A and B are shown apart, each in its own frame.
Chain A
Amino acid sequence: MSGDSTIDIDDTDRAIINGLQGGFGFGERPYRDAADGLGLSEDELIARIARLVDAKVLSRFGPMYNAERLGGAVTLSAMAVPDERYDEVAETVNAHHQVAHNYARAHDLNMWFVVASEEPDEIARTLNEIETETGLQVYDFPKQREFFIGLKVDA
């Protein structure tokens, strides 16, 4: 999980990662359509994507859903976790399926996690459960305005 990818990425892989972070189609044979644009065969594109997913260079390949447009809610929360309890608390937090991302960060507030749910009430419930289970205060940072979201990564 720490990102020690051990595979080598060549220029073709880079073209796939850079070129397909969106725009993958909904045709009958979308890999063939995408492969045409990259000058690859359908089979080679599928094999390379499988390898990149397998090596965790790609977290996944497919639709990225927007929880809020589904009527759900998302929030960012943080906790100040004592070092000696860090792994145990991380395990407790991560055990909640509503926790989508969790990052260790260097600050007094040293654990930052995103909680997403289809049911807005479930956010508060999950944060309460985490407080009860860990005995630590959860600071909630729901977004008030979104100025931009649109990550593109250059491999």
Chain B
Amino acid sequence: MNEQPTFRLDETDRGIIAATQNGLPLVARPYDEVARGLGLTGAEVRRRLAGMLDAGVIRRNGAVPNHYALGLSANGMSVWDVTDDVVDELGPKVGALDFVSHCYRRPRHLPIWPYNLFAMVHGRSRDEVTEKVEAIAELLGPAVRAHDVLYSTRLLKKTGLRIAA
């Protein structure tokens, strides 16, 4: 995904993004309504949005759930100190687990932060998250020197991407 070239946005694309980043109008012809505000045709808006989806500029289109409201309040950020020589080999295996939503390698900040692999685990309870973290520990095996789980205790802010028109 990182190897793909940057998608060249023109002013029209930017206008469409700015008009839709907080959600689509909840009317029968939402793209026509977006188009009206931008002085475009609905067909042009739909063509450009479909192009952005194909190019990966749009990850997906549809419902963006609020995990908290759905009872998935035990969102645990599992973090792992995995030896550097195997982390890139093991990372995709962790990412492939169906209960892991995001998985990244990130830098350590010693001494406060020895962890270089981050895997976000969602569950309905801490027990459920703990079980899933144990499964990750098993998968990683002896390559792990230490790990921790940081439970979220409050959602302080959540917005979509902000792009200026």
Binding site for B on A (CB under 8 A): 1-3, 5, 16-17, 20-32, 42, 46, 49-50, 52-53, 55-72, 76, 80, 90, 93-94, 97-109, 111-113, 116, 118, 139-151, 153, 155
Contacts and interface: CB of A to CB of B under 8 A. Distances in A.
B46 A107 contact: no
B154 A61 contact: no
Nearest to A150: B101
B58 A31 contact: no
Contact of A65 (B32, B65, B150, B160): B160
Q: Which 8 A-B pairs have the closest CB atoms?
A: A3-B68, A148-B95, A22-B60, A147-B95, A24-B62, A60-B23, A5-B69, A102-B156
Nearest to A16: B63
The DSSP consensus for interface residues of chain B is: mixed
Nearest to A76: B106
B160 A64 contact: yes
Contacts of B150: 105-107, 109, 112
B27 A149 contact: no
Interface residues on B, range: 35 or more
Contacts of B73: 3
B63 A61 contact: yes
B146 interface: no
Contact of A153 (B17, B56, B65): B65
Contact of B46 (A27, A56, A66, A147): A27
Given A57-B70, A105-B77, A143-B106, A113 B157 contact: yes
B30 to A, nearest CB: 7
B4 A69 contact: yes
Contact of A53 (B7, B23, B88): B23
Contacts of A64: 58-61, 64, 160
B12 to A, nearest CB: 14
Of the candidates B64, B92, B107, B112, the one having the most CB atoms from chain A within 10 angstroms of its own CB is B64
B148 interface: yes
Contacts of A16: 63
A127 to B, nearest CB: 13
A139 B113 contact: yes
Nearest to A108: B112
Contacts of B61: 22-26, 62-64
B91 interface: yes
A32 B27 CA distance: 10
Nearest to A5: B69
